[in-house]
Amino acid sequence: MTFAFETSPGLKTPRRLRILWASVYCLLDTTSGAAMAVREMLRQLALREIEIEVLGATVFDDERGQRRIAAHMDFFKANLGAIVKVEDELLTHRLLVTASTQRDTVTSRELGLLFQHYQNLLESFRPDLVFFYGGQTQEYLIADEAKQRGIPVIAYLANGRFQGKWWCRNVDLILCDSLATARFYAETQSYAVTPIGAFINPGQVIPAEHSRQHILFVNPTLEKGVAVLIQLALMLEQRRPDIVFEVVESRGGFADILRRVSSALGDQRESLANVIVTPNTDDMRPVYSRARLIIVPSLCWDSGARVLAEAMLNGIPAIVTDHGGSPEMIQDGGLKFALPPEFHTPPYDRIPLPAMLEPLVEAITRFFDDPGYYLETAQRAMAVGQTLHKIDTSTQRLLQAIEPWLAKRVGNAVTTGEPMTFPTVRAAQRTPKISIIFPVGNREVYLREAIESILAQTFTDFELLIVADGIEPSVMSILESYHDERIHLIRLPLNMGICAASNTALSAARAPYMALMDSDDVAQPHRLATQYEWMESHPQITVCASNAVKILEDGSRVSMQYPELDGIIKARLMIVDSAILNPTAIFRSEFVHRHRLRYDANFTRDGDHRFFVDMLRCGAVFHGLQEELLTYRRHFQNATNDMTGFDDYKTRIREMLAPVFFPELTGVETAVLLAAFRSDFSGHPEDVHRSLAAVDKAMLENRSFMDEDRAELNNILSAVRNGLTKHLAGAQ
């Protein structure tokens, strides 16, 4: 497909077709498969004489993704708030330099500047087509502004997380990378999506020669199946030490996740003898030169994993889960395996038993021990790469999809405008000592009292991060009535939920300590001072909480007592709500960032407990001050008033702790043990006996794995045992 030049009225030079790419995200991101795919799409279009403008911001999926601009970070920091140009071979990127590289902490001012520049480009560049990805409010506004000007809009999606129609109602064409994803969205959302394939420049991924030594795994995160990889490596570590895995970091770091997964398996490891780790890189050729196999055991919906297409181009056989777009990407260039459906649901932290992976171990060893079988599979993989993933074929699909919209040449009719200039923000911000995490929903009751209890603290060196989670105007008016410079108001356009709001604040926090605070409680005036002094004088402590006073609706006051010592707090997490009063907690920011801890949106009822369990599994040390530093309100609007499903929630928390505290229990024994913890336990006598046996076995364990107090754990188990005994007596 070719496009002819046309001379527009009033122009002295030939009028080339023009595409404007506009998004908050940076296409130079080496940790984003979508960014790399779109960047290559635009390069291919530029090679075909289509004029391209790229507008974005310094927003990356992970800070590791900044490799392409890492050498110029001083320049970027000096131009905070300005639009800078980055020359990238055939492309020029106009990037707004944002204070944060994380999407959820980009400020409304920064988004406003970016949108102004987008409007300016619509007038001065006069595109025939606007192209974007992302499904948040800013992207909706990008599409809406183009549509208001009569410019066709195309969106690209490459994951399975989009829902609803609001984000794409101004979109003329949706593109994706695989037929599997197009079918998925047709079935689940009734989207009409056009698959165009992978966009990979073979010269950038195919090395001069291959040694074919290692099993390659890229991006060690739970959703990408790193727990499967670790279990396989553990199984092969002693059996076949000659088989080496190479893990390439992207958004995920391997050391932390290895500790978490191996700890859950009962034997925390800092490294594995048969695993080498390679940092994130923008040149994968040396990695592919060493790869004999690639394994992509994705648990999430992988639309069309880029590394699979790159592996096929290199003739590297693949092993993938039979889920998402991965089977389509490899065709017959490897093997597919199935996992039970529950493995493909968030938070993707289930670890397959060795017996489930034994067929994979056998397949892997055959790829190393049977040269004829390996060569045959590698040849099939190469054929898939040369047909399905050929860059010219994908580009033809893209041109065929967008040609009807480009042919309208609407840019000829758009009026020109003068370029706009933007202020440069260079003022350094002082770092506070405590960042207070303060999510706010649609509850006006006690909100002012909660805010003012923080502003009245005797310790004044803090920032109050108020996250307005899609709130009503009446609540927003309360928040906007405060003008204290320590308050930072972050607005979420939609009600994203308490976990998303908390994560937004975690990402925005700048202080060495983070403190939790609910919008209906009252902090005692000396709360922050007391906790800050304690943390400063006890550097071994990760989390410091306190006791509190509960005020009931009738005004009566009840003392809330929580354990003081680390071991007892950890043991009490098995009870879930008797270990820590969440809004009294303060913790070290460095620990949270180092372990990439975030609130899990699947624990919407009370994500703090899940958060603290994650901290425990990462090695946190807890302490509970016995002073009452908070007034905790109990009222009709409390989120925890509805106890429906609370047993299920507690069981999910305990499922995370049981492998840590009781590693000798089998899966069946763990299940019957946790069933006995439930308030709604109503098993038959034989069920009770099985639960009693599991409790007795758990009580025989005298090792402490995370410094938990085993005596306290046995007290908890004894109480469960007594309940079972009474249940059994009542049934007879």
Q: What is the pLDDT of residues 338-360, one digit of tens each?
A: 999 999 999 999 999 999 999 99
User: Positive or negative, the Cα torsion across 136, 140, 145, 147?
Assistant: positive
DSSP 152: -
* pLDDT, position 100: 93
Q: At what angle do helices 254-264 and 646-661 cross, to 10 degrees?
A: 90
Q: What is the overall mean pLDDT for the chain?
A: 88
* pLDDT, position 538: 97
What residues does each domain of the chain span? Answer: 18-200+397-413, 202-388, 434-635, 647-731
Rounded CA-CA distance 200/202 in Å is 6
Instruction: Give CA angle at 577 (544, 524), nearest 5°.
Output: 45
CATH code for the domain defined by 202-388: 3.40.50.2000
Rounded CA-CA distance 617/262 in Å is 10
DSSP 302: B
Token look-up 């059994």 returns 728
Token pair belonging to 288:
């592919």
Describe the strand order of the beta sheet including 18-22 as a list of residue ranges: 83-88, 91-96, 51-57, 18-22, 129-132, 153-156, 173-176, 193-195
pLDDT less than 50: residues of the chain:
1-12, 414-428, 636, 641-643
Rounded CA-CA distance 416/122 in Å is 8
* pLDDT, position 372: 95
* pLDDT, position 12: 45
Q: What is the chain's length?
A: 732
- Residues 313 and 387: beta-carbon distance below 8 Å: no
Beta bridge partners of 632: 550
* pLDDT, position 150: 92
Using a 10 angstrom Cβ sphere, with 0-12 exposed, 13-18 middle and 19 or more buried, the burial of residue 402 is: buried
* pLDDT, position 441: 82
- Same fold flag, 18-200+397-413 and 202-388: yes
Rounded CA-CA distance 139/145 in Å is 10
CATH class of the 434-635 domain in this structure: alpha beta
Architecture of domain 18-200+397-413: 3-Layer(aba) Sandwich (3.40)
Rounded CA-CA distance 656/614 in Å is 9
Which amino acid is residue 50, in one-letter code?
A: I
